[in-house]
């Protein structure tokens, strides 16, 4: 089983550990609902070092990324910025979702943990014609500081003022690694992609400051409440970005840019494709992946489901027929329950309801 450099710290904090794609990771340190609310109301710190870090080196790195990445890397060229998007296969199916970090000429990628070997082969295969070196940065750790108080805490953790000045998706160099204003919770926050010893320092300081450690269970309910997709649940190689709620990350604006998957996507009528919608269960219970949705206007299936601590109701993401809207029923243990189909930005839903 793989272990991050913070493994011992998790055990000391009495985390319940779980096998996550071959990594022994903290599921929670007590109550996942308490951890969830700590991130929504104050701040929390996450060890997400199981995720994969690549660094790309070569004069034609931008051309390479312009070819393999479906969002347009030109948006962050010569800027210290991060950009979210997907890599696609030739049929337009999603191989992975990832963030590319551009910082002072460096290009780094953070992608999922379960897709590591697949991505490594894919990048290396396509990097040959651009003479780009694809390096796995296994000796790095990734730590996320997330929550409304993240900005106050960061100055104390890294002891440099400029980190709190980063704008959304901004990136800066830090001790041989990077700090970026990115995250996966729907809250303000920062992510550190740093050498292991720096990662341990950051973690220890955060814990000393009383910032709550957050496990993967709360990470999942936080991302789902924010309407953020999870690879393997809400998207995979069998579906293209338009039927995965990620049409906004596909950039066709430069007609010259022949990225992998473009030709296939251009043949698709995105208006009639299936779509991803948010789902709120009107009754008590919890939506789970695989539950079927039905209505007069179409049908669908739950991809991810959880209990939303903010809405105090079960929420989920579902892939449904394009014409399906407003209301549907879901079958749970052979019984029918009512659901509302809503924007997947559940946090905004909460503000509307209040």
Taking alpha carbons only, the member of 311, 32, 37 closest to residue 187 is 37
Selected range binding other proteins among 27-35, 156-164, 243-251, 259-267, rule: CB under 8 A = 27-35
- Phi, psi of 12, rounded to the nearest 5 degrees: -65, -35
Distances (CA, A) of 86 to 23, 49, 65, 241, 281: 24, 20, 11, 8, 30
- Token pair in block for residue 166: 């980063």
Selected range binding other proteins among 30-38, 80-88, 159-167, 343-351, rule: CB under 8 A = 30-38
> Which of 158, 217, 228, 318 forms a contact with other proteins (CB under 8 A)?
217
- The total of other beta-carbon atoms located within 10 Å of residue 125's CB is 11
- Identify the DSSP state of 281: E
284 binds other proteins (CB under 8 A): yes
Q: Which is nearer to other proteins, 23 or 307 (CB)?
A: 307
Q: Which is nearer to other proteins, 58 or 285 (CB)?
A: 285
Contact predicate 155/161, CB 8 Å: yes
Distance CA 75, CA 267 (A): 25
Q: Per DSSP, what are the bridge partners of residue 305? A: 316
Shortest distance, position 25 Cβ to other proteins, whole Å: 14
- Cα atoms in the Cβ-side hemisphere of radius 13 Å centred on 35: 23
Binding-site size, other proteins (CB under 8 A)? 16
17 binds other proteins (CB under 8 A): no
Q: Is 177 helix (H, G, I), strand (E, B) or coil?
A: strand
> Which of 69, 174, 259, 307 forms a contact with other proteins (CB under 8 A)?
307
Distance CA 85, CA 26 (A): 27
- Token pair in block for residue 317: 């993401």
Selected range binding other proteins among 83-91, 181-189, 192-200, 285-293, rule: CB under 8 A = 285-293
Shortest distance, position 218 Cβ to other proteins, whole Å: 9
Q: Per DSSP, what are the bridge partners of residue 354? A: none
Shortest distance, position 306 Cβ to other proteins, whole Å: 6
285 binds other proteins (CB under 8 A): yes
Provide the mask over 239-278, with x wherever binding to other proteins is found by CB under 8 A and - wherever it is not. ----------------------------------------
Indicate the helix (H) or strand (E) that contains 266.
helix 262-266
* Interacting positions 170-209 with other proteins (CB under 8 A): none
> Which of 28, 146, 182, 249 forms a contact with other proteins (CB under 8 A)?
28
Shortest distance, position 287 Cβ to other proteins, whole Å: 10
Q: Which is nearer to other proteins, 49 or 308 (CB)?
A: 308
288 binds other proteins (CB under 8 A): yes
Q: Is 120 helix (H, G, I), strand (E, B) or coil?
A: helix
> Which of 102, 221, 229, 249 forms a contact with other proteins (CB under 8 A)?
221
146 binds other proteins (CB under 8 A): no
Distance CA 140, CA 120 (A): 16
> Which of 33, 172, 200, 230 forms a contact with other proteins (CB under 8 A)?
33
237 contact partners, CB below 8 Å, separation of at least 6: 89, 93, 94, 95
232 binds other proteins (CB under 8 A): no
- Residues of this chain that interact with other proteins (CB under 8 A) are 16, 27-28, 31-33, 217, 221, 284-286, 288, 306-307, 314, 333
């Amino acid at each position: 089983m793989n272990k991050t450099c913070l493994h011992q710290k998790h055990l000391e904090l009495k985390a319940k550990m779980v096998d996550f794609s071959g990594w022994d990771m903290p599921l929670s340190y007590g109550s996942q609902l308490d951890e969830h609310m700590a991130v929504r109301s104050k701040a929390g710190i996450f060890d997400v070092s199981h995720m994969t870090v690549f660094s790309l080196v070569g004069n034609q790195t931008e051309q390479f990324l312009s070819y393999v990445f479906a969002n347009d890397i030109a948006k962050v060229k010569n800027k210290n910025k991060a950009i979210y998007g997907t890599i696609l296969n030739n049929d337009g199916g999603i191989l992975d979702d990832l963030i590319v970090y551009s910082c002072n000429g460096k290009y780094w990628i953070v992608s999922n943990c379960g897709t590591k070997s697949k991505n490594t082969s894919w990048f290396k295969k396509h990097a040959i014609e651009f003479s780009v070196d694809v390096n796995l940065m296994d000796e790095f750790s990734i730590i996320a500081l997330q929550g409304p108080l993240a900005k106050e805490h960061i100055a104390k953790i890294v002891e440099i003022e400029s980190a709190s000045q980063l704008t959304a998706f901004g990136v800066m160099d830090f001790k041989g690694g990077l700090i970026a204003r990115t995250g996966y919770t729907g809250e303000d926050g920062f992510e550190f992609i740093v050498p292991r010893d720096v990662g341990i320092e950051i973690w220890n300081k955060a814990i000393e400051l009383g910032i709550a450690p957050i496990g993967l269970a709360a990470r999942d309910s936080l991302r789902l409440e924010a309407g953020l997709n999870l690879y393997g649940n809400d998207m995979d190689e069998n579906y293209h970005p338009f039927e995965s709620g990620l049409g906004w990350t596909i950039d066709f604006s430069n007609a010259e840019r022949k990225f992998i998957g473009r030709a296939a996507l251009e043949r698709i009528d995105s208006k009639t494709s299936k779509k991803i919608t948010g789902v709120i269960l009107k009754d008590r219970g919890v939506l789970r992946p695989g539950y079927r949705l039905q209505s007069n206007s179409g049908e669908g299936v739950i991809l991810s489901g959880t209990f939303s601590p903010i809405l105090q109701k079960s929420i989920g993401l579902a892939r449904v027929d394009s014409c399906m809207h407003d209301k549907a029923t879901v079958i749970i243990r052979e019984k029918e329950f009512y659901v509302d189909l809503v924007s997947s930005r559940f946090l905004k839903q909460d503000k509307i309801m209040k």
